Amino acid sequence: MSEILALSNVSVHFPVKGGLPFFRRGVIQAVSDVSLTVNQGETFGIVGESGCGKTTLANAMIGMVKPTAGQVFFKGVDLNGLATDEFKKMRRQMQMIFQDPYSSLNPRFNVYQIVSEPMFIRGEDSEEEMKARVVELLQLVGLSADDLYRHPSDFSGGQRQRLGIARAISLNPSFLVCDEPVSALDVSIHAQILNLLVELQEQLNLTYVFISHNLADVKKMCDRMAVMYLGKIMESGGSDKIFKKPLHPYTQALLAAVLDTSFDERREQIVLQGDIPSPINPPAGCRFWQRCPQAMQGCKTVPPDLVEVEEDHFVACHLVNGFPDVPLPEGFEDPVPKQDSQV
Amino acid sequence: MKQVLKLRNLKVVFPTSYGLIRAVESVDLDIGDRECVALVGESGCGKTVTSQAVMRLLETPPAVIRVDSIEFDGQEIKDCSSKEMQEIRGKDMAMIFQDAMTSLNPVMTVGNQIDEMYMRHQGDSKKEAREKTVRALELIGLPEPRARANSFPHQLSGGMRQRVLLAMAFACMPKLIIADEPTTALDVTIQAQVLKTLRGMQQGCGTSLLLVTHDLSVVASIADTVYVMYSGKIVEKAPVKELFTAPYHPYTVGLMAAVPRLDDEKRKFTQIPGTVPHPARKPSGCYFHPRCEYAREICRKEMPPLQSLGGTRKVRCHYPLTAGGESHE
């Protein structure tokens, strides 16, 4: 399978505003040193808690934020090396579906204006062509031509998200980033929108990057996935492999935290202590050690590398890979006492 | 069992320029002592309005409330003045809101906000109140409670803020706590923490809990009894275990199927067709019939009554399903 998108060692840092002059300002390391590839025609899932850098990574993928370091290759072309007008042409092939369908649609535009805006900006179509295309798009996402002159306020959350999808596919993109497309919607509407996404993928031959914090959705949607924590990838690879045999303690905890509606078998609950630490001063070693139930002394100082443990299955954890060949503190394999690891 | 809340025939109507919006239609609700009752439904089904009507937090006007009886802890509170309600709210009946960021005062430290509860309802001095606040924060599992009491809401993470709201709700050991989507804004790992704390506190303090949510997986993990609401009416009531093993109403079945599960191997997501009817344009007959695969002629004409079906279970359907998913004749 050919790859459509490749990130190599991408980091995105944001300076923290304020502070006194001559003092070093803080830097938020939203994404640090992430490498991954997305293949043509697949759905690639990115999972993690809020604040772990999922959305920043997605923005970096389509060039909405410039990486501080590293390169983004789309169809083999480095996005940051492009001149502005070439980048704009490239950007037509990559679109985004946003999380909140209430704030991502202009309330003063009607449906026609919302969906045709990408075509209007491209400026290659006549009014009639755009209208015909909008009607076609509306039917594709399950709305009708009667809705053409209604405003977003006339629609329910699920219908608004359909509008957002119609707008995203209006320029026939090949690559779509879905940033938590259903988390603002009701549970009963989730299925409708996700089914629509799956159908569109088959019809239009799309590649998705699917960002979510719901692991059950990811399991159904995605072929390959990455688990992120505090700006770093903890585990990545084929989603069937990760769900069958999660190796990283964080992935295991995430899986255990998914609540179930079945009463037959109660799965073992691993309730993680504490919150996700601030990305301004991330822990020096493994970023997860403070919350990790199996942390060792060495995890505090030695950052783990992302190592391939089997085909298409990468894990960054000393428990799985063992410690690398670097000077290690004494007693590095001793467990970290419980109260020490509480944040 | 002793009843903490007995709500009879609650109706809430909003007159608007589009016509009458009947948000809640004849809802009966019973909450027993130390019981956790869940009110489940999609957005716009009237679950939040019901809980706010019980707390008397609805603005009237625009809302018009008609109710036969609200019996709280053996006392009729239907005709209480707003001053009397102020005495009850916070002390005997407390609320946990969905979004901790907007329901906490951003310019007051969280400690001061909890202190207010003790000073107002128990007549404590500032110093006594702070001691109690620190103890309450400790009980809820906030690390370094004394230092945390001096922080402002924006200095805390989402999970910590939700814990502060829990501490505030449990401050005066109320008889009933209404939690309106307490974990919807949180991440999965934090959701598990907060639900565990909430359940532990509820059992430890002997409080009754009314949990308002749209997430059936949350219901399955902490509720005792479940009311399913659709378009302003209760469509099913059952003990939690029976509801999940054998749902009677087609809507409940649809809601449960819509929750994606990790052990499911199918690629397709199960969906309920259509959307919730607009509250001003509800269909005739059973409100669910346009989305129901079992709908027949009578469903289009007549609203089914809420009938009892064995034990404490109730269902509002002409053809309730049996355990196998087959329709009763």
Give the type of residue at B295. A
At A196 the pLDDT is: 92
Closest-CA distance of chain B to residue A274, Å: 8
Local confidence band at A265 (pLDDT 50, 70, 90 cut-offs): low
At B260 the pLDDT is: 76
At A117 the pLDDT is: 93
Closest-CA distance of chain B to residue A225, Å: 15
What is the side-by-side strand order in the sheet with B307-308? B93-96, B176-180, B208-213, B36-40, B225-230, B233-239, B314-315, B307-308
At B329 the pLDDT is: 42
Residue B303 per-residue DSSP state: P
Among residues B238, B248, B242, B234, the alpha carbon closest in space to that of B321 is found at B248
Nearest residue on chain B to A274, judged by CA atoms? Answer: B190
- Disruptive mutation site among A161, A186, A267 for chain B (greatest number of B CBs within 10 Å): A186
The domain A3-108+164-242 is placed in CATH, from the list 3.40.47.10, 3.40.50.300, 3.10.450.50, 3.30.70.1020, at 3.40.50.300
At A22 the pLDDT is: 62
Nearest residue on chain A to B160, judged by CA atoms? Answer: A275
Cβ contact A186–B42 (<8 Å): yes
Q: Which residues of B touch A272 (CB under 8 A)?
A: 189, 192-193
The model's pLDDT over A189-248, given as tens digits with 9 standing for 90+, comes to 888 899 999 999 999 999 999 998 888 888 888 999 999 998 899 999 998 999 989 999
A313 phi, psi to nearest 5 deg: -150, 110
Q: What is the CATH number of the domain that holds B170?
A: 3.40.50.300
Residue B248 lies in a domain: no
At A268 the pLDDT is: 56
At B2 the pLDDT is: 78
Q: Which residues of A touch B267 (CB under 8 A)?
A: 198, 220
At B43 the pLDDT is: 80
- Please state, rounded to an integer, the average pLDDT across all residues of chain A: 85
Local confidence band at A313 (pLDDT 50, 70, 90 cut-offs): very high
- Please state, rounded to an integer, the average pLDDT across all residues of chain B: 85
Nearest residue on chain A to B144, judged by CA atoms? Answer: A343
In chain B the beta strands, taken as DSSP E runs, fall at 3-16, 19-32, 36-40, 64-66, 69-72, 75-76, 93-96, 176-180, 208-213, 225-230, 233-239, 307-308, 314-315
The model's pLDDT over A7-20, given as tens digits with 9 standing for 90+, comes to 999 999 888 766 66
SS3 A310: strand
Lowest mean pLDDT among B13-22, B84-93, B186-195: B186-195
Cβ contact B262–A50 (<8 Å): no
Q: Where are the domains of chain A?
A: 3-108+164-242
The model's pLDDT over A36-95, given as tens digits with 9 standing for 90+, comes to 999 999 999 999 887 788 888 999 998 888 899 999 999 988 988 888 889 988 889 999
Local confidence band at A338 (pLDDT 50, 70, 90 cut-offs): low
Closest-CA distance of chain A to residue B315, Å: 20
Asked whether the predicted pLDDT for residue B168 surpasses 80, the reply is yes
Residue B164 lies in a domain: yes
Closest-CA distance of chain A to residue B260, Å: 6
Nearest residue on chain B to A194, judged by CA atoms? Answer: B269
Q: Which residues of A touch B212 (CB under 8 A)?
A: none
Asked whether the predicted pLDDT for residue B240 surpasses 70, the reply is yes
Cβ contact A275–B270 (<8 Å): no
Residue in A187, A255, A259 nearest the CB of B220: A259
Residue B132 structural domain:
3-223
Q: How far is it, in rounded angstroms, from Cα A136 to Cα A128? A: 12
**Long-range contacts: A85-89, Cβ < 8 Å, 24+?**
A87/A63
The upper half-sphere exposure of residue A41, i.e. CA atoms within 13 Å in the direction of its Cβ, equals 5
Q: How far is it, in rounded angstroms, from Cα A242 to Cα A228? A: 13
Number of domains in chain B: 1
Residue in A156, A263, A271 nearest the CB of B275: A156
A54-73 exposure pattern, b = at least 16 Cβ within 10 A, e = fewer: bbbbbbbbbbebebbebebb
Asked whether the predicted pLDDT for residue B325 surpasses 70, the reply is no
Residue in A243, A263, A269 nearest the CB of B241: A263
Closest-CA distance of chain A to residue B74, Å: 34
Residue in A158, A194, A272 nearest the CB of B269: A194
Handedness of CA B135, B136, B142, B145 (dihedral sign): negative
Q: How far is it, in rounded angstroms, from Cα B251 to Cα B239? A: 17
Residue in B195, B255, B271 nearest the CB of A195: B271
Cβ contact A191–B261 (<8 Å): no
Residue in A187, A258, A263 nearest the CB of B258: A187
The model's pLDDT over B275-315, given as tens digits with 9 standing for 90+, comes to 778 888 888 888 888 888 888 888 888 888 888 887 788 88
Asked whether the predicted pLDDT for residue A342 surpasses 50, the reply is no
CB count, 10 Å around CB of B258? 20
Residue B327 lies in a domain: no
The model's pLDDT over A145-165, given as tens digits with 9 standing for 90+, comes to 888 899 998 888 888 999 999
At A162 the pLDDT is: 92
Q: How far is CA A75 from CA A3, A36, A38, A58, in A?
A: 7, 14, 10, 16
Residue B100 lies in a domain: yes
Q: Which residues of B touch A234 (CB under 8 A)?
A: none
Q: How far is it, in rounded angstroms, from Cα A158 to Cα B44? A: 13
Q: Read out DSSP for A125-161?
A: S-HHHHHHHHHHHHHHTT--GGGGG--GGGS-HHHHH
Closest-CA distance of chain A to residue B193, Å: 6
Cβ contact B42–A272 (<8 Å): no
Q: Greater confidence, A212 or B265?
A: A212
Cβ contact B220–A263 (<8 Å): yes
Tokens of B70: 């609200």
Q: Which residues of B touch A259 (CB under 8 A)?
A: 191-192, 195, 215, 217-218, 220-221
Instruction: For residues B48-62, give the mean pLDDT.
Output: 85
Residue in B43, B218, B244 nearest the CB of A263: B244
Closest-CA distance of chain A to residue B166, Å: 16
Are B41 and B51 within 8 A, CB to CB? no
A282, burial (CB in 10 Å: exposed 0-12, middle 13-18, buried 19+): middle
Q: Which residues of B touch A279 (CB under 8 A)?
A: none
Residues of A with CB under 8 A from a CB of B: 49-50, 156-159, 186-192, 194-195, 198, 213-217, 219-220, 243, 253-263, 269, 271-276, 342-343
Among residues A185, A132, A177, the alpha carbon closest in space to that of A157 is found at A185
Closest-CA distance of chain A to residue B87, Å: 35
What is the count of residue pairs from A and B with beta carbons less than 8 Å apart? 127
At A343 the pLDDT is: 41
Q: How far is it, in rounded angstroms, from Cα A220 to Cα B265? A: 8
Residues 6+ apart with CB under 8 A from A12: A30, A31, A53, A56, A57, A60, A65, A67, A68
Are A61 and A209 within 8 A, CB to CB? yes
Q: Which residues of B touch A343 (CB under 8 A)?
A: 143
Q: Which residues of B touch A190 (CB under 8 A)?
A: 258, 260, 269
Q: Which residues of B touch A220 (CB under 8 A)?
A: 260, 264, 266-267, 269
Residue in B43, B214, B217 nearest the CB of A259: B217
Residue B306 lies in a domain: no
Asked whether the predicted pLDDT for residue B102 surpasses 80, the reply is yes
